[in-house]
């Protein structure tokens, strides 16, 4: 896992540690020292700790005018034991919502497992953004991850599943990815079994 680096090709457009509105503002990263771990596996030092011991993230892009944020994740999403959604909601999403962000794209290509608990924080997140026409979309989830999310009833508050699992976002600019997800959502496409 140590060689899986957060996506870096959008750094010409946005760097979270340079954004005074970002929850990661002022962070300093090492290119040489691997200190963070998920379980017993070191991860690349560019990933950001946000409170979860089993999942790290990178805030890849924020557009305050259009009101959206793109985040990439790595690890195991565990709401059951480590309450990852609480940390994500309180320490990241709430900070961005206060700055006018209402649309969230969560890139889950490297989320290896999901362990659900309840849907309370997801419902709160939805309640916080729905008046602004907001949404949360989880992109490129593994089938077993989507299945567990559905068992936890997240489809009532977030968007994920088959129609969002074929997104080749690495070849797009952030605004192109946002437009593609927006278009899929505007067609009323949500979770498909």
* CA–CA dist 122, 104 (Å, integer): 12
Across 133-139, average pLDDT: 97
Residue whose tokens read 């990263």: 29
| Predicted pLDDT of residue 1 | 63
| Predicted pLDDT of residue 86 | 98
Q: Return the structure tokens found at 22.
A: 């970002």
Task: Determine the longest span between alpha carbons in the chain, in angstroms.
Answer: 46
* CA–CA dist 129, 190 (Å, integer): 17
At residue 188 the predicted structure's pLDDT band, cuts being 50, 70 and 90, is low
Strand order across the 103-115 sheet: 55-63, 68-78, 103-115, 135-139
Digit-coded pLDDT (tens) for 81-134: 999 999 999 999 999 999 999 999 999 999 999 999 999 999 999 999 999 999
* CA–CA dist 166, 169 (Å, integer): 9
* CA–CA dist 128, 55 (Å, integer): 23
Digit-coded pLDDT (tens) for 4-45: 899 999 999 999 999 999 999 999 998 778 888 999 889 999
Q: What domains are there in the chain, each with its CATH number?
A: 16-38+48-128+153-186 (3.30.750)
């Amino acid at each position: 896992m140590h060689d899986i680096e957060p996506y870096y090709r959008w750094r010409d457009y946005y760097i979270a540690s340079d954004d005074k509105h970002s929850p990661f503002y002022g962070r300093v990263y090492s290119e040489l020292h691997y200190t963070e771990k998920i379980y017993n596996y070191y991860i690349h030092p560019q990933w950001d700790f946000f409170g979860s011991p089993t999942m790290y993230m990178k805030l890849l892009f924020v557009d305050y005018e259009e009101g959206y944020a793109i985040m990439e994740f790595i690890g195991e999403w565990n709401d059951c034991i480590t309450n990852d959604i609480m940390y994500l909601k309180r320490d990241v999403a709430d900070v961005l919502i206060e700055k006018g962000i209402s649309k969230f794209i969560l890139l889950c290509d490297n989320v290896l497992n999901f362990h659900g608990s309840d849907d309370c924080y997801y419902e709160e997140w939805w309640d916080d953004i729905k008046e602004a026409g907001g949404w949360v979309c989880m992109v490129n989830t593994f089938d077993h991850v989507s299945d567990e999310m559905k068992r936890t009833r997240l489809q009532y508050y977030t968007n994920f599943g088959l129609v969002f699992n074929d997104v080749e976002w690495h070849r797009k600019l952030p605004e192109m990815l946002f437009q593609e997800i927006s278009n899929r959502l505007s067609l009323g496409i949500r979770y498909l079994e």
